[in-house]
Amino acid sequence: MMSENGQTALAADARIAAMRKSTVPKNLFVAPLESPIGTMLAVHDEAQCLRVLDFQDYESRMHRLLRLHYGQVGVDFSLRAATAPRATRDALQRYFGGALVAIEGIATATGGTVFQRGVWAALRKIPVGTTVSYGALARQLGCPKAVRAVGLANGANPIGIVVPCHRVIGADASLTGYGGGIERKRWLLSHEGIHFRSDRHVA
């Protein structure tokens, strides 16, 4: 007879599998986008919703997240080279040009668990030019003891910059990690008007 923990684990796996099946797009499209901090790869669905935005030098991570959220390329969905939608290109260009709120209008969609999607939605509510700690973000989500889980979800965010995980910092105001590299995080925060020295928030 299966234990209660085993039944719970199977039920959780079934929910995640069902959720992923319901959110898998038939076709995804990938396009390179140039930026001041390196070439990015933008993945969109047929509705022109941004699904992934990552840096080209982390392409292997992009594919890992795609597999995690949507399954296998060529089996569960196709991934084709294409031009990024004009709305996404223009918004990112304006953001890098100094119109910092331009990216707030970019439509996004993600896979992930319900908890992860809740964290990612909260990230989009962090105002430009501000930062929050992992603990503060956990409290905002109503789960103050889930700081580690919030940190893991933040680190698994597939849509860089637009879903601004770079605005989350350590409780001691240190930069902590960033999937695109700590110098890119520093650049993005500086671009948004927040400056750090020796990984400590000073202004």
**Closest residue by Cα to residue 49 from 105, 97, 100:** 105
**What span, in angstroms and rounded, lies between the C-alpha atoms of 4 and 7?**
5
Q: What percent of the chain has pLDDT over 70?
A: 85
Mean pLDDT of 134-152: 94
Each residue's pLDDT tens digit, 73-85: 988 899 999 999 9
Q: What percent of the chain has pLDDT over 90?
A: 71
What is the pLDDT at residue 24? 74
Residue corresponding to tokens 């990216």: 103
Q: CB under 8 Å, gap of 24 or more: what pairs does 122-127 form?
A: 123/154, 123/157, 123/163, 123/164, 123/165, 123/167, 123/168, 124/162, 124/163, 124/164, 126/164, 126/167, 126/168
Each residue's pLDDT tens digit, 181-192: 999 999 999 999
What is the pLDDT at residue 173? 84
pLDDT of residue 16 exceeding 90, the answer is no
Mean pLDDT of 86-107: 97
Which one is predicted more confidently, 16 or 180? Answer: 180
pLDDT of residue 96 exceeding 60, the answer is yes
Beta pairing class for 196-197 and 132-133 = unpaired
Q: Give the pLDDT band of residue 23 (cuts 50, 70, 90).
A: low
Mean pLDDT of 2-13: 44
CB atoms within 10 A of CB 38: 14
Which one is predicted more confidently, 15 or 130? Answer: 130
**Predicted TM-score of the model (pTM):** 0.84
What is the pLDDT at residue 119? 96
pLDDT of residue 10 exceeding 80, the answer is no
User: Which positions are catalytic?
Assistant: 165
Mean pLDDT of 50-58: 96
pLDDT of residue 7 exceeding 80, the answer is no
Q: Quick one: CATH architecture of 13-201?
A: Orthogonal Bundle (1.10)
- Kindly give, in sequence order, each residue whose CB lies less than 8 Å from that of residue 44, ignoring residues fewer than 6 positions away: 28, 29, 31, 50, 51, 82, 84, 85, 88
Task: For CA atoms 180, 165, 52, 31, give the dihedral sign.
Answer: negative
Domain ranges of the chain: 13-201
pLDDT of residue 49 exceeding 80, the answer is yes
Residue corresponding to tokens 């400590």: 200
